[in-house]
A = this chain, B = another copy of it.
Amino acid sequence: MAGHTRERLLVIGGDAAGMSAASQARRRRGPGDLEIVVLERGGFTSYSACGIPYYVGGVVADAAELIARTPEEFRERGIDVRLRTEAVEIDLDRGRVRARDAEGAERWEGYDHLLIATGAVPARPRLPGVDASNVHGIQVLQDGIDLRRAVERDGPRRAVVVGGGYIGLEMAEALVTRGLEVALVDAAEQPMRTLDPDMGALVADALRGVGVGLHLGERLEGFETEGGRVTAVRTSEGALPADLVVLGLGVRPASDLARAAGIEVGATGGIVTDRRMRTRSERVWAAGDCVETRHLISGEPVAIALGTHANKQGRVAGINLGGGYATFPGVAGTAVSKICAVEVARTGLNEAEAAAAGFAFLSAAVESTTRAGYHPGATTMRTKLVAERRSGRLLGAQIVGEENAAKRIDGLAIALWNGMTVEEMTGLDLGYAPPFAPVWDPVLIAARKAAERVEEDMRACEAGG
């Protein structure tokens, strides 16, 4: 096109969100129309951070398997990936970013469109000893490589995992798989606080069952070191000997760079965007763990670091940057995890979250089997639903079970997404055959129980009124 000037898209961060966006934008706009430059601080692109525990545990043999696409593959598609290059300042007025390479050399990179996909920063307690060589954070792929090397090289016997969230538990499993004696420390009285206590207790039982020592309700107070290495983890209840420490204390959005530039950051610490992933600053977009999004049930902004959201948001940003139209509607808070044989899943609001969001609610939990009771391999799973009083609208669901249990959360998440009531759900036409479900699927049994509770509550209200 005569007089047409090529535009430049600058992406900060070469993982899920950034590379999804770059790929989508490239699909819609060729290199003659849009130059795409990606600045990545680390040495890899597009890897599965969620796969790190499986690499450490040895379930995945080679770290390369976690890499979905290499920088070379992106370059072949006309995406200029610059590794070990960190963005250190955004200059909104001039539309440029100061980038520092591995040698410390700096230069300004201009942009017509900027996408911030800086990810998340793991929480790291400011305690003496935290920087010892045998204290491992788990964030980037290199962390996983370092940890596995330490396990294989140093032959540690005792590990302490700090933090009982998904990553902490998956790391505990990985280290148990590696033959280590593992202690798990968490300040809360249950692991996996995204579950209600009755469901979390089942996870705790499972962890104990595989030999993980649970130190719940214990606060991390410090590290005992010797020769630059931690020898014990001090908690509010005593000292736990450790040859190896893994920190799994959760993450916060990596939004400092954006905030420093004057880009709006919300109360969650995540960058604020609209549903097309545009920030409040012109020509600046953001996606992935560094942004906040809307929780579809509570209506509140939340920052949830999860690869699947990062990929979706990156795709949406990329389609829009490429001249298309796409939106990211928000999240339902769905998560699944597997700790040895135990499968755990949740979506929507748990009881505490429902209360905090101002909902009056009822809960119903049922035990049922994953397959027809007479079919080999049938195991017991517990399904819990949280429903709004009166309306009966599904607000949340939790599952703890074994093989074939957890992925049932998808159906519940979709019911939730569509605002279904538990009564409506009792009629759902779900797949039935003996190898897959009892004649009443656990999801339907839970819906029935919840619907009964809603009805009883309604009658009690009417009688009382």
Contact = CB atoms under 8 A, between A and B. Distances in A.
A286 interface: no
Contact of A418 (B307, B332, B420, B429): B420
B51 A375 contact: yes
A414 interface: yes
A225 interface: no
Contacts of A437: 336, 407
B413 A410 contact: no
Nearest to A335: B431
Given A51-B372, A308-B440, A372-B51, A413 B429 contact: yes
Interface stretch (A58-66, A227-235, A255-263, A357-365): A58-66
Interface in A290-308: 296, 306-308
A410 B434 contact: no
Interface string A48-81: 1011001000011000011000000000000000
A437 B435 CA distance: 20
Interface string A321-347: 000001111011111111000010101
A157 interface: no
B432 A308 contact: yes
Nearest to A27: B452
Contact of A312 (B16, B54, B413, B426): B426
A376 interface: yes
Given A51-B374, A307-B432, A404-B407, 17 more contacts: A16-B439, A54-B435, A59-B375, A60-B374, A65-B373, A66-B374, A306-B432, A308-B429, A335-B432, A336-B437, A338-B433, A407-B436, A407-B437, A410-B411, A410-B431, A411-B414, A413-B429
